Chains A and B, each alone.
Chain A
Amino acid sequence: MARITIDPITRIEGHLRIDAVVDGGKVQKAWASCSMWRGIETMLRGRDPREAWFFTQRFCGVCTTVHAIASVRAVEDSLGMEIPLNAQYIRNLILIAHALHDHIVHFYHLSALDFVDVTTIPNADPAKAAEIAQSLSDWPGNSKQEMARVQAKIVALVGSGQLGIFANGYWGHPAMKLPPEVNLLAVAHYLQALEYQRKANQIVAILGAKTPHIQNLAVGGVMNGINLNSQATLNMDRLYMMKDLFDEVIAFVQQVYFPDACAIAGFYPEWFGYGAGVKNYLAVPDLPTDTASTTFDLPGGTIFDGNLAGVRPITSSRDDYFRKGVVEDVTHGWYQGKGAQHPWQGETVPNYTDFQDDGKYSWVKAPRFEGKPMQVGPLASILVGYALGHELTRKWADRALERVAAVAQRPIPLDGLHSTMGRYAARAIRAALLSDLAERHWKLLVTNITKGDSSVFNPPQFPKGTIQGVGFHEAPRGTLSHWVVVKDGVIDNYQAVVPSTWNASPRDEGGVSGPYEASLVGNPVANAEHPLELLRTVHSFDPCLACACHTLDVEGRTIATVKVL
C-alpha cells in the first residue's frame, strides 16, 4: 500500500492537492484539497452592486468573463429586471467565444500531453500521419509537408536535450498508447491550436473592448454603442470582422478539435471505464434568447445516480428548484462551524487546522444540491441536454460516439460517458455544439440590429430595503452561480459558488466525497512514482483553483511534486 501526495505547493501560491491511497494497483481512497483561501468575496461587502463585476472578473485569471457575466446577472436577478435583446446576444457571443477558446486550450495545451507521447514522434512516418489526419477530416493543415515540418521541430527539440514545454511529461509510460503518427498529428494540431484560440479571444476583444478583462458590461445590459454607420461603435464592419473570426474558429473546432478528441478517445477505450465518480449532475440553462431570461438555447437540469430518464429541468434563475437547492457545507473545510448554509446566508470565516484526513483538510467548501454532491462541467451539460432531448446535443453526442467507436472498433454506449474519457469527449461535443450556436447568435444579433433595434441598456433602480438575487452561467468548467444580497443599494453579502468548488469539493457532514475524490477511487495506477493515470482523471475535470494568485518563482525553488509514503 502506498500513499501518494501530489502537491505542487510553493511558499506563496495556492494549489490543488490530491492525496490517494493506492493498493493492488488501484486507488482505494482519495482526498482533494485546495491550499489557498478564497476570501475575495468579503471584499465586496459595502460596495456598489453595479461595480461588483469589476472585482469578480479578477477572481480568476482564466475565467475572467464568466465571473463578470454571473455578477451582472445576479444583480439584475435581485432587481427582477430585463435587459435588451441586443445585450443578451452580445453577452452570449462573448460567452461562446470565451468557451471555444477555453475548450481548445484545455484539450491541446493543458491535457493532451497526458495521452500523447511526444518522444515517439521521431519514429513517425509523416506521410502516414498525414494520411490518418486526412481520413479524420479535410482540414487543410494536414498535409505531409506540415507533418514533416512539425516532426523536424520535435526531432531538433529532443536532440537538444532541452525538452522545454515537454520536459514534464511521463514519457514512455506504459499507459501511453498512441501510435507515433497519431502523436505527431496531435502535436501538429497542438501548435495550430495556438492560432485559433487566439482568434476566439479576438472575438471577445471586439465585443468586450479588451481581453482578458472585458469592459463592455453593465448591470442592465452592455455598453456597446450600436450604429451600423459609425466607426466608433459596433458597426457592420466589426460585425463581419467577428463573423470571419468565428468562421475560422468554427472550422478548427469541427474539423480538428472534435475529430482529434474522438480519435484519441478511440485509442483509449478503457478510459470510458474509469473515473465515473459522482454520477449526480448539475447544469444550468444558458444563452438566453429573450429579455427576461426565461428561454434559453442551452438547457439545464439535474440528473441523479446516472439516471437520465429521471432528468429534472431547471427553467431559469427564478426557478426555486435551483434557488433553494444549493447549500455549502464547511464540515471538512478550513472554516468555522459545521454543516451547511445557503449561499445568501453564507459566511466565510477561516479556521485553519492543518491537513486532517478525517477532519478539516481543504479551503474549498462542499457545495451540495438537495444534500447531494454534484458533478458539473461539459459532461453534466451534455448528459442533461441529451436526457432532455436537446437536438444539437444529441446530434454532436451521437456523432462523437460513432467516431470513437469507429476507431476503437467496438461500440461505446452513452453510459460510457460517465467516465474520465467521457469528460474529454463531452467537452469536445460541447465545443462543437457551441460552434453551431455561435453562427445562430451572430445571425440573431445582426437581424435584430438591422430591424432598427439599437437598445443595449436598461438603467437599474435600487430600492430601499433588502433584496437578493442569483446569477448563473454554464461556464467552460460547469455551473457557476453568484449570490448577492443588496441592502439599501449596497452589497451586504456576496458568495460565488464556482464550478471547481462543486467538483473539488471535500467530504460533507455525512462523509460523502466530492466528484474528484470519488472519481479517483478505482482508478488504476501502474507506477505510484509516476501517477499519470491520476493526472488524467483530475485533468479531465479541467480544474481551476489556483489562478486567483500569480507570483512567478524565478529562483526555481524545489517543488514537492509527487511524494510516495
Chain B
Amino acid sequence: MSGATDAEAPIAVVGIGNVLLGDDGFGPSVIELLRAGWRLPEAVELIDAGTPSLDLAGYLHGRAVAILIDAVAATGAPGELRLYRGDELRRLPPKPRMSPHEPAVQEALWIVELSGSGPRKVLLVGVIPQSIEPHPGLSPAVRASAAAAAELVVRELARCGAAPTPRRNPRMADAWWMREQRFG
C-alpha cells in the first residue's frame, strides 16, 4: 500500500501536475519511470500527487526529505530541467488566494515548517513545459527530459543514503495517460 500510511517513509518523492494537461503531467510521469526502472529502499515513498494544492502539506508532514517534481514557469527552452532548494522556494513572494485551491507548493512548505513537522531538506526538480493544453501525454522535448529527471532524483536519493538500485528487468511504466486504451 502506498499513499499515506501510519509509519511514514522518511523520504518522499512527490510528482506534481495534471496528466491530462500535456507537459503539466511531467511530475507523475517521472514517478512512473522511477517505479518502473528502480527498486527503492523502504525509506523512500513515491507519490503521484496530481494537483493537490494545499493538500500537499499532508504529504510533506513528518518527512525528513522531500523531493518534488513539477513543471515550472521559468524562462528557458521547453524541456530544460531546473533545480531549486527549499530556501529558494520558501522565499518566493506570497500570492493572493482567490480560490482556496490554487497551486500551493510554497504555502504547503510554510505550513509544515510552522507546525514543526516539515522536511529538513526540500528539493524541487522542475521542467519548463512546452504545452499544457488539455491532452494526455508529454511533448517530445519534455518527454526527452523525463529520464534525466529520474536519474537526477536517483542521485539525490543516493546522497541521502537511500540509493535506489536499477531493476534487472525494468517494468512497463504504468503511465496509462500515455496509452490509447486501458482495456483490451
Binding site for B on A (CB under 8 A): 6-8, 10-13, 15-18, 37, 39-40, 42-43, 47-48, 50-51, 54-55, 58-62, 64, 101, 105-106, 109-111, 153, 157, 164-165, 167-168, 191, 194-195, 197-198, 201-202, 204-206, 208-213, 241, 535, 538-539, 542-557, 559, 561-562
Contacts and interface: CB of A to CB of B under 8 A. Distances in A.
B110 A554 contact: no
Contacts of A6: 96, 98
B4 interface: yes
A16 B73 contact: no
A15 B96 CA distance: 11
Interface of B: 1-6, 16-21, 24, 48-55, 57-58, 61, 70-75, 82, 84, 88-90, 92-103, 105, 107, 110-117, 124, 126, 129, 132, 134-136, 176-177, 181-184
Given A51-B181, A553-B72, 4 more contacts: A58-B50, A64-B50, A198-B4, A552-B71
A20 to B, nearest CB: 13
A144 to B, nearest CB: 19
Contact of A552 (B6, B57, B105): B105
Nearest to B183: A48
Contact of A40 (B97, B116, B134): B134
A546 B103 CA distance: 8
Contact of A191 (B105, B114, B184): B114
A317 to B, nearest CB: 24
A165 B107 CA distance: 6
Contact of B54 (A58, A110, A167, A205): A110
Given A194-B117, A550-B103, A555-B73, A8 B1 contact: no
B114 A157 contact: yes
A54 to B, nearest CB: 6
B70 A551 contact: yes
15 contacts: A18-B98, A61-B55, A164-B114, A165-B110, A168-B94, A168-B95, A194-B117, A198-B4, A241-B6, A548-B18, A553-B73, A554-B74, A554-B84, A555-B73, A562-B96
Top 8 A-B pairs, shortest CB-CB distance: A61-B51, A110-B100, A205-B3, A165-B110, A164-B110, A550-B51, A51-B182, A167-B94
Most chain-B Cβ atoms within 10 A of its Cβ — which of A48, A194, A241?
A194
Given A550-B17, A552-B126, A168 B96 contact: yes
A202 B182 CA distance: 27
B3 A210 contact: yes
A558 B148 CA distance: 31
A194 B96 contact: no
B18 A550 contact: yes
Most chain-B Cβ atoms within 10 A of its Cβ — which of A165, A552, A553?
A552
A550 B156 CA distance: 24
Contacts of A12: 73, 132
Contact of B113 (A15, A164, A208, A551): A164
